[in-house]
């Protein structure tokens, strides 16, 4: 006599029972696998978390802009009338010197411009990422170099050759131009004002005419940068005649603060 289990064998009910049991087991396995996947995903960092880079923050850009406004006025007043960061005026003075056959004045502009070109090339090399394998935190080294250069120039008497001061300043200013061109997702120029003024007007038009909130925010940001540059220039106008070559220690301090920002922000990211 066949048992009930044997009676089911070969019948269509046995096939249904076997398939249903297999399906249930597979479903249980899938549930356990899903729980493991969910647990694994919960342990991994969320891909939506955005890490804000120190060099793209407003405070970093304000320090650079304040320092550059100070430096240009300082080199003009103390270092022979040369603008060491922005090269547009130097190019104009070069043309004037050549036309007037004032070779000394012309050459005083040539060397800072050449140093600026070399600095842009070095910045392009750093930005390519090739140096990351050899140097850790290259941007910090750039800021440390600039702070050191400015601090050392403060010890040089104003009676020395002005090229000793203006050439290295032009070089590190070019590094800034090549490496730091973004702030809060917007483009800006830390060593000159023309491009920022153009972006200010464009953002103001978008904010006022088109009622664009992003344009209004960008307008406030560029206005802050421009005002900061003016403040740096005004401060240098007062400090440079009174302190002479030592006044450049002010922008050296501003640049040194950016190094502190890099370190503080990194610690905050590690703690979070």
Choose among 248, 251, 261, 246: nearest CA to 65: 251
Residue 125 lies inside a defined structural domain of this protein: yes
185-204 pLDDT tens trace:
899 988 878 889 999 999 99
Distance, CA of 248 to CA of 69 (rounded, Å): 11
Residue 219 lies inside a defined structural domain of this protein: no
**Paired tokens of 96:** 């004037």
Arithmetic mean of pLDDT, 151-180: 88
Specify the number of domains making up the chain. 1
Whether 16 shows a pLDDT value over 60: the answer reads no
**Paired tokens of 202:** 């464009």
How many Cβ atoms from other residues are within 10 Å of residue 57's Cβ? Answer: 16
53-89 pLDDT tens trace:
888 999 999 999 999 999 989 988 998 777 777 788 7
Q: Is 202 exposed, middle or buried (0-12, 13-18, 19+ CB in 10 A)?
A: middle
Residue 19 lies inside a defined structural domain of this protein: no
Domain extent, residue 97, equals 59-181+247-257
Choose among 118, 110, 79, 71: nearest CA to 93: 110
Arithmetic mean of pLDDT, 211-217: 91
Provide the 8-state DSSP code for 49: P
Whether 258 shows a pLDDT value over 90: the answer reads yes
Residue 141 lies inside a defined structural domain of this protein: yes
pLDDT-based confidence at 252, cuts 50/70/90? very high
Bridge partners of residue 186, in order along the sequence: 183
Residue 210 lies inside a defined structural domain of this protein: no
pLDDT score recorded for residue 229? 94
Whether 272 shows a pLDDT value over 70: the answer reads yes
Residue 95 lies inside a defined structural domain of this protein: yes
Distance, CA of 143 to CA of 137 (rounded, Å): 10
pTM of the predicted structure, to 2 decimals:
0.76
Residue 89 lies inside a defined structural domain of this protein: yes
Whether 231 shows a pLDDT value over 60: the answer reads yes
Find out whether 129 and 244 touch, Cβ atoms under 8 Å: no
Bridge partners of residue 37, in order along the sequence: none
């Amino acid at each position: 006599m066949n048992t009930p289990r044997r009676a089911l064998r070969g019948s269509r009910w046995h096939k249904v029972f076997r398939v249903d049991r297999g399906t249930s087991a597979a479903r249980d396995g899938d549930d356990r696998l899903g729980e493991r996947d969910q647990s694994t995903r919960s342990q991994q960092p969320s891909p939506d978390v955005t890490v804000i880079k120190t060099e793209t923050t407003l405070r970093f850009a304000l320090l650079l802009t304040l320092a550059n406004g100070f430096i240009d006025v300082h080199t003009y007043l103390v270092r022979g009338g040369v603008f060491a960061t922005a090269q547009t005026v130097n190019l104009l003075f070069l043309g004037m010197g050549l036309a007037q056959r004032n070779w000394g004045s012309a050459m005083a502009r040539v060397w800072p411009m050449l140093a600026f070109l070399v600095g842009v090339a070095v910045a392009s090399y750093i930005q390519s990422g090739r140096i990351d394998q050899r140097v850790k935190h290259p941007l910090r080294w750039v800021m440390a170099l600039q702070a050191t250069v400015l601090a050392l120039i403060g010890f040089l008497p104003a009676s020395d050759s002005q090229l000793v001061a203006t050439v290295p300043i032009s070089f590190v200013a070019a590094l800034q131009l090549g490496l730091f061109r973004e702030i809060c997702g917007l483009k800006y120029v830390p060593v000159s004002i023309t491009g920022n003024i153009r972006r200010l007007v464009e953002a103001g038009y978008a904010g006022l005419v088109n009622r664009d909130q992003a344009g209004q925010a960008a307008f406030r940001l560029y206005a802050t940068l421009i005002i900061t540059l003016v403040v740096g220039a005004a401060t240098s106008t007062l400090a440079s005649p009174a302190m002479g070559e030592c006044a450049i220690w002010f922008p050296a301090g501003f640049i040194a603060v950016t190094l502190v920002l890099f370190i503080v922000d990194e610690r905050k990211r590690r703690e979070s």
